[in-house]
A and B are shown apart, each in its own frame.
Chain A
Amino acid sequence: MPSALINVPKKAKRGDVIEIKTLMSHIMETGYRHTASGDVVPRDIITSFTCRFNGTEVFRADLYPAIAANPFITFFTTVTESGKFEFEWIGDKGFSETAQASITVE
């Protein structure tokens, strides 16, 4: 069962730059490994991560097999109003997960 861990401050002052930490549990199988019998283990990775704030994209990442398992990504954003962050991970084999976090701006 995929699960996301999101760390967003609950409150911030208008104009603050906040740090957002995200982690999605995922094997990130590279497609370069072999089983003991010599078969290639098919690639199964998250290829795209997007963060939107009140519907506007604020951060996006393209991921490759060189990103470690359970992709952990941290980035910064400026908050100007209260609202909701939406996070989306898309990957191989139809992988698609979302998460949300709200922030109150004073």
Chain B
Amino acid sequence: MANSDHTTRRTFLGLTGGAAVLVIVRPADATPAMLQAAIRNVVGEANVRAGKVKLDIPPLVENGNTVPMTVSVTSPMTADEYVKSIHVFNEKNPQPNIGNFHLGPRAGRAQVSTRIRLADSQKVTAIARLSDDTFWSATADVVVTLAACTEEAI
């Protein structure tokens, strides 16, 4: 019995050691600081408020290689009041940017959909720039079981 415990502990240590090595060889992930920098790059010094934006993304995804995502913004989309652009960011992919979508008053409806990659369970943030140059955002947490981007190519 003591012998089998010993083996279990050794196996466990081996596994954790292996995991530590894996963590070390992974490329540098986008840190929250990089995320903040990427957001500042888009919004400048402007204040980003929560609201108006709706981010539809599954809370739990099996495969991070293709995650459906829809961003919609509450806006009348008239010539005077419309959404200029929608920017999507993530927290832990190697790069903080996902995509920038440039709209205009003639879009009619401020909504875009695409499929994205997520390298880890993380937060996804969508920021909309309105015609009056105010910024609004929405954030969603996504749990990913199979990570994308960094796996070994064949």
Contact = CB atoms under 8 A, between A and B. Distances in A.
B12 interface: no
B153 interface: yes
Given A33-B151, A66-B93, A78-B107, A61 B115 contact: no
Contact of A66 (B107, B117, B151, B154): B117
A6 B97 CA distance: 26
Given A58-B104, A67-B114, A67-B115, A32 B99 contact: no
A76 B116 contact: no
A65 B95 contact: yes
B131 interface: no
A101 interface: no
B45 interface: no
A62 B95 CA distance: 14
A93 interface: no
B67 interface: yes
Nearest to A21: B113
Contact of B107 (A34, A63, A75): A75
A74 interface: yes
A76 B109 contact: yes
Interface residues of A, number: 29
Interface in A35-55: 35-36, 41
A62 B114 contact: no
Interface string B15-42: 0000000000001000000000000000
A17 interface: yes
Contacts of A72: 113-115
A5 interface: no
B41 to A, nearest CB: 12
Given A61-B99, A66-B99, A68-B116, A78 B152 contact: no
Closest 5 CB pairs of A and B: A17-B108, A78-B108, A68-B115, A76-B109, A62-B100
21 contacts: A33-B149, A33-B150, A59-B101, A61-B101, A61-B112, A61-B114, A64-B98, A65-B149, A66-B90, A66-B97, A66-B98, A66-B99, A67-B98, A67-B115, A68-B67, A68-B117, A69-B65, A73-B112, A74-B113, A77-B107, A78-B106
